[in-house]
Structure 1
Amino acid sequence: MTVQTEKQKMITGQKYQAWDEELMQDRMRAKKLCFSLNQTCPTERPARQALINELLTQPCDAWVESPFNCDYGYNIKVGSGFYANHGCTILDCAPITIGNNCLLAPGVVIATAGHPLDPVERASGEEFAKAITIGNNVWLGANVTVCPGVTIGDNVVVGAGSVVTKDLPPNTVCVGVPAKAVRVLTPDSDKLSLLSSASVAI
């Protein structure tokens, strides 16, 4: 039987020890790159783009405003046209897959990480992580929090301050704590079918 590393356990959604030496080194790598990115002038676009590509370990056209922080970077996979506004945090202990043309407003948190409810387990350093999938053309409003294990469908708009705890269906506007669909987007993107009278702040 092959013994899995803590890193393998983390990425595959099993309980793992967060203070494992390999994982600590990986986090330090990401922190150094985030620090460099956050200290690089916004006008130095080529330098910033090189740091973003190194952090995400993929060539991409993603644009990330400072400050930005993440746990590992290598577990974040983004499509074309990705944009993250100021103050976004991504805890990518498990894979986070983001489609094309996705926008994150200021203060968005995307977190795959979780801790045991049992205090003894939690104090021992045990953690777990659940993958997050975000479809194409998704817009997350200011201070939205996306919790572990959820899938957000294509073309979803999530209103400011919402907390996404469950999957969100495609082609909807979703708001609230927890977030739920309040409007359906029709094939004609200029027309909205109202499901509730709730106002939506983005």
Structure 2
Amino acid sequence: MLRFCSQGVLNNSRVIIQPLIQKQITSKLKPIISCPGVISRQYAVKLRDEDNKLECIYYGPLTPQIKGVKVFSLSSSAAGLLAQPIIIREAATIGSTSLLVALCSVVGFFTFVTPLLLHFITKKYVTEIHYDPTTSTYSATTINFFLARKKLDFKVEDVQVPDIPGAFTTLNAKGVPLFIEARHFTDPIHYAKMMGYDKPMDFKLGDQTEDSSKSN
């Protein structure tokens, strides 16, 4: 009889104590579980605010084509580097020096010269331009040699339009030549500001002091 009573007391104590322990554990875990959700929401809101602050005002339509050509060029260069020892070994077995020089020249041209030439042509091409209205700052995006995005932040005061534009150059921003097209701007006002069309025109009629000295 005493053993049954003791077992009943132990069972009742377990029924009472286990919910209390579980309640304490869950109450301590709630702040820990809720912290990642709060951090992720705050981080997402911060990213959305930064994205909304920048306005995309320009997109280069040749961006996919340029990326595709550069990917093909880099992949062919990597294949040329891997195949060059095999080609040289096979050409050496023939024993013709002129053939060996010709093969090395062709493989070297497509391996090294073509990617450099493509990069020289496309490095000035602007793929995107974002505008920050709070600071009146433009952010131009270009593609470097390894297809990575390269950003250049500048203001209208940093832009210089050359009198004689160079090859694939529309303007210079902080001394960096950039190529853009007016028709691909979402708002032509930004293009006019960059090119200085909103400034008073200087007709460059000549120096009056030189004219007066020549007349005398």
Q: Decide: shared fold, TM above 0.5.
A: no
TM-score by length of 2: 0.19
TM-score by length of 1: 0.20
* Bigger Rg over Cα: 2
| Greater RCO, 1 or 2 (C-alpha within 8 Å, sep 6+) | 2
